[in-house]
């Protein structure tokens, strides 16, 4: 007791329209994740989620989803939208922490610390390639197992049992939003030795080399979303959540950050 490293204490939590987001930098997020992993026990893993404007807007009309998002032990602001909202609401966040960057940091840590990892999600050929790439990029990484994310409701029990049987300590789940959040919430107690479980969205596709992140300058300008939209125009429908999100935040902001509707 009392020996937790500095910087790994529970960070300040910011409320974004009823959804908690932690005020951490990328370095702070890794330190916090490590602390949470050390404190977790089998059957009680720590959950890392990355709420985005789309999920936050859904949670406005879906109290169950709001409860799921509130169950995060570490919640990252994985986009400029959330960082902007925090500033407008008068509760600024220190940085955007892209989920994929914490995922990479966790894989590097797992390789160095000998923690076995399980990768669950994406298409079959993608997750196989992601597992191979992860082992190339993080020498010594122990991949306890991997499986694709198209198991459906009927295959969920088997997918969870495979994770538990693998003995993995770190679980990365990329099923899309909010399927992965629901999956983690429902199955949290059934994941065997897992200490840390994170929702990683489409990060396996990036790790596998199937999709690419925006070039550095666009990322620094906070325009990664625009890059994604240009490359995957069929996703434009989801972006409709953004104006609604902005409008709701501006209204709340004017009300002095109160939470009245």
In whole angstroms, the minimum distance from the beta carbon of 104 to ligand UDP comes to 16
Distances (CA, A) of 111 to 27, 129, 234: 17, 18, 36
Count the Cβ atoms, other than its own, within 10 Å of residue 149. 23
State the Cα–Cα distance between residues 115 and 136, nearest whole angstrom.
16
Q: Which SS3 state, helix, strand or coil, does residue 74 take?
A: strand
204 binds ligand UDP (CB under 6 A): yes
Starting at the earlier edge strand, list the strands of the sheet with 143-147: 74-75, 46-49, 196-199, 170-174, 117-121, 143-147
- Closest-CA residue to 257 (of 63, 55, 91): 91
The window from 39-47, 104-112, 156-164, 168-176 that contacts ligand UDP (CB under 6 A) reads: 168-176
55 binds ligand UDP (CB under 6 A): no
133 binds ligand UDP (CB under 6 A): no
The window from 58-66, 159-167, 182-190, 202-210 that contacts ligand UDP (CB under 6 A) reads: 202-210
Nearer to ligand UDP, 88 or 123 (CB): 123
Residue from 47, 86, 202, 207 touching ligand UDP (CB under 6 A): that is 202
Tokens of 148: 């694709």
Q: Which residue is nearest to ligand UDP (CB)?
A: 149
Nearer to ligand UDP, 91 or 227 (CB): 227
212 binds ligand UDP (CB under 6 A): no
176 binds ligand UDP (CB under 6 A): yes
State the Cα–Cα distance between residues 213 and 203, nearest whole angstrom.
9
Residues of this chain that bind ligand UDP (CB under 6 A): 121-123, 149-150, 174-177, 201-202, 204-205
């Amino acid at each position: 007791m009392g020996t937790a490293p500095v910087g790994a204490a529970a960070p300040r939590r910011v409320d974004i329209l009823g959804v908690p987001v932690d005020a951490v930098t990328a370095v702070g997020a890794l330190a916090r994740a490590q602390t949470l992993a050390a404190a977790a026990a089998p059957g009680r893993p720590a959950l890392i989620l990355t709420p985005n404007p789309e999920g936050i807007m859904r949670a406005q009309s879906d109290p169950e989803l709001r409860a799921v998002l509130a169950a995060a032990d570490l919640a990252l602001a994985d986009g400029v939208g959330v960082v902007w909202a925090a500033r407008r609401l008068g509760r600024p966040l220190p940085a955007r922490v892209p989920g994929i960057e914490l995922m990479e940091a966790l894989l590097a840590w797992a390789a160095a610390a000998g923690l076995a990892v399980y990768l669950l999600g994406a298409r079959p050929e993608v997750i196989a390639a992601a597992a191979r790439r992860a082992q190339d990029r993080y020498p010594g990484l122990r991949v306890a197992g991997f499986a694709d994310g198209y198991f459906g409701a009927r295959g969920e029990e088997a997918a969870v049992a495979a994770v538990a049987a693998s003995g993995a300590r770190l679980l990365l789940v990329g099923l899309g939003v909010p399927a992965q959040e629901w999956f983690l919430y429902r199955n949290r107690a059934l994941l065997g030795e897992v200490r840390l479980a994170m929702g990683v969205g489409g990060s396996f596709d990036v790790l596998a080399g199937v999709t690419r992140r925006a070039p550095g300058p666009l990322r620094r300008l906070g325009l990664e979303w625009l890059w994604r939209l240009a490359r995957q125009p069929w996703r434009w429908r989801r972006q409709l959540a953004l104006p609604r999100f902005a409008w709701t935040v501006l209204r709340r902001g004017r009300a002095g950050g109160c939470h009245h509707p």
